[in-house]
Chain A
Amino acid sequence: MSVQRRFAKFLGLAAVGAISIGLAACSSGGDTGSDADSGELTTVGFVAVGPEGAWREANETNVQDTFTKEAGFDLKYAPATNLDQKSQIDAFTSFVDEGVDVILLSATEASGWEDSLERAQEAEIPVILLDRGIEPDDTSLYVTRIAPDNVEVAKEVGAWAVEQFPDGGNYITLEGPAGVGVVNERNEGWNESVEGSDLVQVAAQTANWSAEEGKSVTETLLKANGNDIQLIFAQNDEMGLGAAQAVEEAGLEPGVDVKIATIDGTMAAMEALADGQLSYVHEYNPLFGETALDVVNKTLDGETVESYIIVPSEAFDSAEAAQAVLADRKY
């Protein structure tokens, strides 16, 4: 009886082994096909961030809609689990092992990518960074980075703030999670503009990109400073929208007593800007799937591209400006 059972188990194991070998053969077969460029699909591994907010949603949908089967691509979408870098590195490594043709990478965190990128380089798989950069920024490790320029965008927000408050004022910054590249870049750009003006930063706290935390943090910071805050710089829309609610609940009027500036330019933020809840929204253009497609094609054809491609973004500083674009806003 027990011998029989053991034998059955062994058979099962053998079957699993056979299947996995078969699968491996399948995938390698697919690769040689595409390498030979015989009209097969180009496989693209997309190491993505996953659900994070409306901006990310628009960005990743745009990429997925661009790299379609009709356009000749087989896009493998691998979102991170709960914004965890570890899961991204795992997905990246498995794309390298699989031998995809190109890897698109939107890193959740800037540091710690050297080893993975070197592995991709050894396997001669070009890596294109979407949106977020890496630190240290070693341009030899990747083909190019396609992104709106965070530093530039934040600089414009800062310039607007300085212009709005010529006599100075107190402001707070709602940041994303500590250590994330975007946060550092947006701080850098903002500081460049604000330095030397009379604006005083009374606090800078993380609200983890979330509206709920944005509200909770703002509520406490307003109390900690006796409501003496004239400006809130929220590094994304969600936190700014949360902050607007906290400002209202503290008995102040957003836009009059406290001006809120945010970056991203999602639909909800545009509506809030048109409503007067927010005072300034700088778009951080997520729709660069086409640019990415262009770069991928060029790279596969052996052409060289710039190591940093900036996607242009617009600023909206009034309710009217927001109203004008609200109708055909894609995200």
Chain B
Amino acid sequence: MSTGARTNWLRELIRKPYFWGVVAIFALLALNVLKDPNYLALSVNPVNGNLVGNVVDILRASAPILMIAVGMSLVIATGGIDLSVGSVMAVSGAVAMVFMKDAGQSGSLGVALGAIGLALLVSAVLGAINGVLVAYIGLQPFISTLIMMLAGRGIAKVITEGQNTSATNDPFRWIANGFVVGLPVVFLLAIVIVIIVGLVVRRSALGLMIEAIGINPKASRMAGIKPSGLLLTVYILSAVLAGIAGIMSVGTVMTVDVSRTGYQMELDAILAVVIGGTSLAGGKFSIGGAVVGALLIATLDKTIVFLGISSSATPAFKAIVIVVLCLLQSERVRSWFSQRRKPPRPTSAPTSVPPTQQKQEVTA
């Protein structure tokens, strides 16, 4: 009996869409450990008591991806897509940097909060434009956010007058580089935000309604869900999360690089969502999956540098990892392998298969 229960539990786990994402993270970490046995070692910086280690770096690098991946998974759940997140990151970073620079490098907490507030406000406005175009004008999400993706980077260039802009402000810098009880602030912040978003969508009917719109917009409307307001909310949320990601991203070096900040991050976000098992067709979404996906991408980026893979081979290495992962996730590919191993199908119904054989099937 107990073995049967265990195989069921194992089978449940393997069925989870993000299971292979977790496996891939561990595989990449193992690869790094092979190169350097001390890869996973954490030490405490004697000066300030902060944790130091490669894993800490990965967590820090994953924070901006986490933000946009969570926003993206909600947008994708409605059957849409948000290509503008990378550009919104650049706009948010540009607004924050220019604001702090114009505030005269005072470095006070008030200036930092003002910069953050203004950056998030501008992001929200950009998100609202996306939302209005999609929900009220009825444009395709792909097109409306593509417009914003192109326009956003232009807006960032206008804000900074085309220059990479730096500023100094210690409280702002602390968000991206600081530590609380030994852990990086930026990661803690990201996790808190993810948990809040997760609770809000899963503890209320909001998540269900978002999924309903994605699964069947007509049926959901007939069931009494008004899609317009929800769509608008989702796009605003996605842009605000991208704005937070932008602040985290420019905060690490206190410079906004208008052509590089957030560049192609929308693809990372979509990838993270897909790795997490959310279908691009919309409908069911998994925030936990998006978290796994974001962590995987951060791990992959850091692994490439750690292993010293040459710059020209980097995209190929990344692609191979992702392709293998997607193949492993695919039901069809997995069924090819399991069918090959199975003996010729007996004529009786599969329910009559004795438990021992069931176990064999899994462990084989």
The chain A residues found within 8 Å of chain B, CB to CB, are 50-54, 57, 81-83, 175, 177-179, 203-206, 208-217, 219-221, 223-224, 238, 241-242, 245, 249-251, 268
Contacts and interface: CB of A to CB of B under 8 A. Distances in A.
Interface stretch (B201-209, B251-259, B330-338): B251-259
Given A206-B314, A224-B36, A57 B163 contact: yes
B54 A212 contact: no
A204 B311 contact: yes
A220 B258 contact: no
Nearest to B58: A220
Contacts, number: 95
Contact of A224 (B61, B259, B308, B310): B308
Contact of B252 (A54, A83, A215): A215
Contacts of A81: 150
B66 to A, nearest CB: 16
A215 B253 CA distance: 7
Given A53-B257, A211-B253, A216 B311 contact: no
Contacts of A210: 257, 260-261
A245 B302 CA distance: 18
B279 interface: no
Contact of B153 (A54, A82, A238): A82
Interface residues on B, range: 35 or more
A251 B249 contact: no
A64 to B, nearest CB: 11
Interface string B37-55: 0000000010100001110
B101 interface: no
Contacts of B253: 211-212, 214-215, 241-242, 245
A278 B157 CA distance: 28
B259 A82 contact: yes
B177 interface: yes
Nearest to B50: A249
Given A179-B312, A223-B53, 18 more contacts: A52-B259, A175-B311, A178-B312, A205-B311, A206-B311, A206-B314, A210-B260, A212-B249, A212-B250, A212-B255, A215-B253, A220-B54, A220-B302, A223-B306, A224-B35, A224-B308, A238-B164, A250-B52
Given A54-B164, A220-B302, A238-B257, A212 B252 contact: yes
Q: In terms of DSSP, what is the predominant structure of the interface of chain B? A: mixed
A212 B36 contact: no
Contacts of B164: 51, 53-54, 57, 211, 238
A123 to B, nearest CB: 30
B117 interface: no
A238 B260 CA distance: 12
A209 B252 contact: no
Nearest to B32: A224
The 3 closest A-B CB pairs, nearest first, are A206-B311, A210-B260, A178-B311
Nearest to B298: A216
B16 to A, nearest CB: 30
Contacts of B310: 178, 204
A211 B47 contact: no
Contacts of A251: 45, 47, 52
Contacts of B177: 249
A212 B163 contact: no
Contacts of B54: 220, 223
Nearest to A60: B162
A51 B163 contact: yes
B311 A51 contact: no
Given A57-B163, A206-B311, A211 B305 contact: no
A3 to B, nearest CB: 28
19 contacts: A51-B164, A53-B164, A177-B311, A179-B312, A203-B308, A204-B310, A205-B311, A212-B249, A212-B255, A215-B253, A216-B301, A220-B54, A220-B57, A221-B306, A223-B54, A224-B306, A224-B308, A241-B253, A241-B255
A51 B166 contact: no
A217 B306 CA distance: 9
Contacts of B174: none
A242 B150 CA distance: 27
